[in-house]
Structure 1
């Protein structure tokens, strides 16, 4: 309980400046250029598709420092036949993800990691729209692969948006996970949010060291599915 209250207080301070910085990501944009052919994937390789915003993309970091790449390192070290694809895009909202998912699904995932919604909450967008967009994304993934395993990353918004909105927003992710029989991570940035040395100067996005902690959190939920 203390850690949750601490995180909410910290997030209030961190996100008071909004999300404008996400639109000026200097290094990590969408990881796959739509003008270039997708990298070839072996028929025997299973795919983990990380679909999210700037946290997944590794804002202002090299791609190999973002947590999806660190997950790939773990997989390779264990000799597991999975390939990770980082489909993170800085500034992405759930509606933007819904519009983008059809193109991303040119590669069919065996495991789908969904990390979207935080930018909706920080902008105070209607929660029913966020819920519908996230469900539409999940439905599109399931249509492409009915056997897909889904992981949903939970996020929080600062309490200055109102207690009702804050609580309802937090419940979006657990409710979606339950409805879709998905694995649920309560808070993706646990152990990272609000710790200055683990975040960039904006106080929002993890440093390489922060991404290492995020990777450990993700791995604890992902590894049983491999």
Structure 2
């Protein structure tokens, strides 16, 4: 699998100055994890629509949090399969454009939306980000799926007002459409005291050791949707 490297970033780095996602633009494509043995209860199909944070950018295939999610579902005998429809460098506009076909193809019971970091990185208007997320949520709900919105945060050097409004965008959409919400995928990673150890050398993407933490951030809320 060929993946483009992201643009170079400033090598001066500390835990207060992280960048959440890259504009690498490399297509990872669909990765459907194998189905589980039948368990009790309703069978679920979980579609993850994300960017490089979910597309296993720069790490070994099968070691990202989405792949680890499939393993956890199997370990806990949850009757579900995971489709990873994440694309490195994707924005909310890209996800909005791709989602209708994904809903038709996979007919998911749960849609996980992990997008928005690249919008901030590219300086796109927050109103556009909010509108795109809202449209995706509505489309998934109309198709009969529950939605889990996974939020991002931007570093303080974006300015206090922008940082606050960006984080609030995910909360606003979640509250308006009554979705489940994980406020920050990189909680305990990007804001950890030893943040450097959790990132690849590009200072942008979490390394393999970080992805179990990322799954732990998502799992409690997602598990509630599968009951």
The 8 Å contact of residues 75 and 82 in structure 1, kept in 2 or not, is answered as yes
TM-score scaled by structure 2? Answer: 0.82
- Give the whole-Å Cα distance in 2 for the aligned partners of 1:122 and 1:84: 28
Which of these residues, 50, 55, 58, is aligned with residue 57 of structure 1?
A: 55
- Give the whole-Å Cα distance in 1 for the aligned partners of 2:59 and 2:165: 32
What residue is the counterpart of 1:203 in the other structure? 203
Higher relative contact order, chain-length normalized (CA < 8 Å, sep 6+):
2
What residue is the counterpart of 2:22 in the other structure? 19
Shift of 1:108: 1.2
Shift of 1:81: 0.7
Which of these residues, 29, 46, 49, is aligned with residue 48 of structure 1?
A: 46
Residue 188 in structure 1 maps to residue 192 in structure 2? no
Residue 155 in structure 1 maps to residue 156 in structure 2? no
Shift of 1:15: 3.1
User: Bigger CA drift: 92-101 or 189-198?
Assistant: 189-198
Which of these residues, 166, 170, 187, is aligned with residue 167 of structure 2?
A: 170
- Give the whole-Å Cα distance in 2 for the aligned partners of 1:39 and 1:214: 18
Instruction: List alignment gaps of at least 5 residues for structure 1.
Output: 1-8, 33-37
1:14 aligned counterpart, secondary structure: coil
1:47 aligned counterpart, secondary structure: strand
User: Bigger CA drift: 154-163 or 79-88?
Assistant: 154-163
What residue is the counterpart of 2:3 in the other structure? none
The 8 Å contact of residues 193 and 204 in structure 1, kept in 2 or not, is answered as no
What residue is the counterpart of 2:67 in the other structure? 69
The 8 Å contact of residues 49 and 112 in structure 2, kept in 1 or not, is answered as yes
The size of the alignment, in residue pairs, is 206
Which of these residues, 92, 95, 99, is aligned with residue 97 of structure 2?
A: 99
Instruction: List alignment gaps of at least 5 residues for structure 2.
Output: 1-12
Please state which structure has a larger fraction of its residues in helix: 1
1:131-142 pair list within 5 angstroms: 131-142=130-141
The 8 Å contact of residues 22 and 88 in structure 2, kept in 1 or not, is answered as no
1:57 aligned counterpart, secondary structure: coil
1:15 aligned counterpart, secondary structure: coil
